[in-house]
Structure 1
Amino acid sequence: MHGSATVGWLVAALCAVTGVWCVLRARGGSPRQRADAGAEATMGFGMAAMAVPALWDGEPVPAVVPAWCSVVFFGGLLVRESAAAVRDRGAPGARHGHAHHVIGAAAMVYMALAMAAGGAGAAGAHHGQHGGVPWVTAALLGYFAGYVLWAGTRLMPSAAAGAGTAGGVTAGPGHGGPGALGAPVTALLARQSGVVAGCRLAMAAGMFAMLLGV
Structure 2
Amino acid sequence: MIATALLIALTGWCVLHGVSGIAGGRCADRRLEAAEIVMALAVVAMMAPTFDPLPQGLWAALLVASAAWPARRRPARAGRHRDGDPASPGARAHYAHHVVGASAMAALAVAPKHRHTGGSGVHEAVHAAVPAWTLFLLAAYFLAYAAVGVASLLLPRPTTGRYPALDRGPGPLAPLRLVSARRTVMAIGMFYMLVGMS
TM over 0.5: yes
Q: Which amino acid aligns with 1:83?
A: R
Counterpart Cα distance in 2 of 1:190 and 1:8:
25
Work out which of the residue numbers 18, 35, 58 in structure 2 matches 1:69: 58
Match of 1:196 in 2: 179
Q: Could you tell me whether the CA contact under 8 Å between 1:144 and 1:207 is conserved in 2? A: yes
Q: Which amino acid aligns with 1:149?
A: A
Quote the offset at 1:143 in angstroms.
0.6
Quote the offset at 1:20 in angstroms.
0.5
Counterpart Cα distance in 2 of 1:125 and 1:88:
47
Work out which of the residue numbers 66, 69, 72 in structure 2 matches 1:83: 72
Work out which of the residue numbers 108, 111, 133 in structure 2 matches 1:111: 108
Counterparts of 1:1-214 in structure 2 under 5 Å? 6-26=2-22, 27-29=24-26, 32-54=28-50, 66-84=55-73, 86=75, 88-89=77-78, 91=80, 92=86, 93=88, 94-114=91-111, 117-119=112-114, 124-126=115-117, 130-131=126-127, 132-158=130-156, 187=169, 188=171, 191-214=174-197
Given the two structures, how large is their TM-score scaled by the length of structure 2?
0.71
Change beyond 3 A, Cα 1:35–1:81:
closer
Gaps of 5+ in 1: 162-185
- Residue identity over aligned pairs, in percent, reads 26
Counterpart Cα distance in 1 of 2:19 and 2:125:
37
Change beyond 3 A, Cα 1:10–1:67:
farther
What is the Cα-based RMSD across aligned positions, in Å?
3.1
> Number of residue pairs matched?
172
Change beyond 3 A, Cα 1:78–1:34:
closer
Gaps of 5+ in 2: 81-85, 118-122, 159-167
Q: Could you tell me whether the CA contact under 8 Å between 2:142 and 2:191 is conserved in 1? A: yes
Counterpart Cα distance in 2 of 1:24 and 1:125:
39
Quote the offset at 1:137 in angstroms.
0.3
Counterpart Cα distance in 2 of 1:129 and 1:36:
30
Change beyond 3 A, Cα 1:82–1:36:
closer
Q: What are the superposed Cα offsets for residues 95-115 of structure 1, whole Å, 9 maximum, x if unpaired?
A: 21211111110121122132x
**Highest Rg: 1 or 2?**
1
Structure having greater relative contact order (Cα 8 Å, sep ≥ 6): 1
Q: Which amino acid aligns with 1:151?
A: G
Q: Could you tell me whether the CA contact under 8 Å between 1:81 and 1:98 is conserved in 2? A: yes
Counterpart Cα distance in 1 of 2:191 and 2:4:
12
Counterpart Cα distance in 2 of 1:90 and 1:129:
36
